Amino acid sequence: MTATSAIISDDNAPVIAVSDAGIRFRRNRRSRRNFKDLFSRKHRRTRPGEFWALRNVSFTVRAGEAIGVVGRNGQGKSTLLKLVAEVILADEGHVHVGAGVAPLIEITGGFVDDLTVRDNVYLTAGLHGMKRSEIDARFGEIIDFAEIGDFLDTPYKHLSSGMKVRIAFAVISRLEEPILLVDEVLAVGDKAFREKCYRRIEELLAGGRTLFFVSHNERDLKRFCTRGLYLDKGSLVLDAPIGDVLARYNAEYGTP
Amino acid sequence: MTSLAPQTPAWTPFARYRHSLWLLTRRDLRVRYSTSALGYVWSILDPLVMAGIYWFVFTQVFQRPVGEEPYIVFLLTALLPWMWFNGAVSDCTRAYLREAKLIRSTKIPRTIWVNRLVLSKGIEFIASLPVLALFAISTGASLGWESLLFPLGVLLQTILLVGVGLIVAPLVVFFRDLERAVKLALRFLFYASPIIYGLADLPEGLGFWAAFNPLSGIFSIYRSAFFPGQLDWFAVGMSAIVSLLLLGLGMLIFSRTERAVLKEI
């Protein structure tokens, strides 16, 4: 059922290794929860009111691979991305990420409304592990990319929502991390900026980054990715070259 | 520039932790001071007003002698650290909820969300000490060798706060009611701790039990700087034990609930 691919014949060790990973969520917030459940370590049993968002997912990613995650809404794509970003933890199995990650997930999350754009850039880049000197060196680049040079000392809350996303993308995409995770964040922003973001991603890919990309857009997937992961009903159905994965997805869910 | 630039000397996990902790703490302080006109004054106004009220009630209205003279210095030596305790614990109830967006997008060690609150409130505490000094000088209170114990008090209070924070912060995520319960408990604790009175003022027998409140020992250390008689080594020992136990419990609860917290927020 899982066709392991060997598209990239790079012989270095995997940078991402997910083995038998599963994560469980509660169906609704109100379902009963008691102290005992809270403190039990990983438990395999599914309790009423819970469902597995992902289960028995295994794959490895080698450095430099570009992976597209395909599936309908609610089939666990974003959850998988978050597991790889290690912002949520698996209930069973293991997720091993051997290198730094630049997560383009909820990119505006670290920005503080009351601080200026300048302070925010230093804060967010710093939290993602950049040193002050590195930020100093890239500050100009970041601001140029976001095209908001006139707003450096404006409080973040006074920016338009487009500008907010632009500056956030500019910061995260400047992180010198070997793995890049992209959720459908880029759906926002105007067309010109989106194209700019995509060019930046291509640039990063050409520089040897590993890409993990979640999207519904077939064109984007084909543009960046070589390998696809097809998620359906919480499990990994197909792991194959992106063309095959998209073909199967379209066959099953009849997108033209 | 597009190539995988070799990272300038990589972070050790500890350096990374310290760096993030410091960034967030500075952010807290900067936000607080950039959004209010009075800034620093606020962090000392609250204890000052409270000290003023208690000073009036206990020295002007009632004549019943509690504590020691000068009473205003006696009050402030416990009120200022109480503000640290109170502020840090009540902020910890929202430690995860307020930062949910940031927690969902970065993987920095999750204990930071508690520790930075303890740290930023601690810095405000240190910053409020000049007020105490001012009153001490104007009332002529004299400093004893016991003031050298001050770092011990800070250390114990930090341990205690991190412990309590690690217990409170994750539990509030699951039981929102706890936020109000904590507020209530803090109000109770204010009167149950030797702040407006000293340990020695308690009725016979109660003093022993009061020592189980870790704040008793900690405040007795701070107080002994001006009032050597307030130092109670039994209470200090108890508070060290209780604080360490709470820290252990906090670390246990934190590690057991971490994955559930991340799903919930």
- State the pLDDT at residue B3: 43
Give the position of tokens 């009611």.
Answer: B177
Phi/psi for A30 (5° steps) reads -90, -10
Q: Name the pTM for this structure.
A: 0.86
- Can you tell me the mean pLDDT for B150-157? 96
The answer to whether residues A176 and A125 touch, using CB atoms and an 8 Å cutoff, is: no
How close A200 comes to chain B (CA, Å)?
9
Q: How confident is the model at residue B166 (pLDDT cuts 50, 70, 90)?
A: very high
- State the pLDDT at residue A6: 38
Give the position of tokens 């390998």.
Answer: A227
The answer to whether residues B201 and B222 touch, using CB atoms and an 8 Å cutoff, is: no
Output the CA angle B14-B18-B101, nearest 5 degrees: 110
Cβ contacts of residue B126 below 8 Å, gap of 6+?
Answer: none
Q: How far is residue A199's CA from residue B165's CA, in Å, rounded to a whole number?
A: 45
Nearest to A66 by CA among A197, A161, A179, A232: A179
Residues of B in contact with A26 (CB under 8 A): 263
Residue type, A106: E
> pLDDT of B181-222, one tens digit each?
999 999 999 999 999 888 888 887 888 888 899 999 999 999
Considering only alpha carbons, which residue of chain A is nearest residue B263?
A88
Q: Is A8 on the interface with B (CB under 8 A)?
A: no
pLDDT at B237 over 90: yes
Query: Per the CB < 8 Å rule, is B27 touching A115?
Result: yes
ipTM: 0.80
Nearest to A229 by CA among A79, A90, A97, A11: A79
pLDDT at B2 over 80: no
Output the CA angle A192-A193-A197, nearest 5 degrees: 120
- State the pLDDT at residue A33: 57
pLDDT at B253 over 90: yes
Q: Is B258 on the interface with A (CB under 8 A)?
A: yes
List per-block mean pLDDT (blocks of 10 residues) for chain A, which spans 256 residues. Answer: 39 81 77 57 60 89 90 85 89 87 82 88 88 89 87 89 86 87 72 84 89 86 89 88 89 70
- The per-type count for chain A, helices as H runs and strands as E runs, is 8, 9
Rounded to a whole number of angstroms, the distance between the first and last alpha carbons of chain B is: 37
The answer to whether residues A227 and A240 touch, using CB atoms and an 8 Å cutoff, is: yes
> pLDDT of B63-75, one tens digit each?
767 778 888 899 9
How close A76 comes to chain B (CA, Å)?
14
More confident residue, B165 or A148: B165
Q: Is A89 on the interface with B (CB under 8 A)?
A: yes
pLDDT at B169 over 80: yes
- State the pLDDT at residue B89: 96
Q: How confident is the model at residue B122 (pLDDT cuts 50, 70, 90)?
A: very high
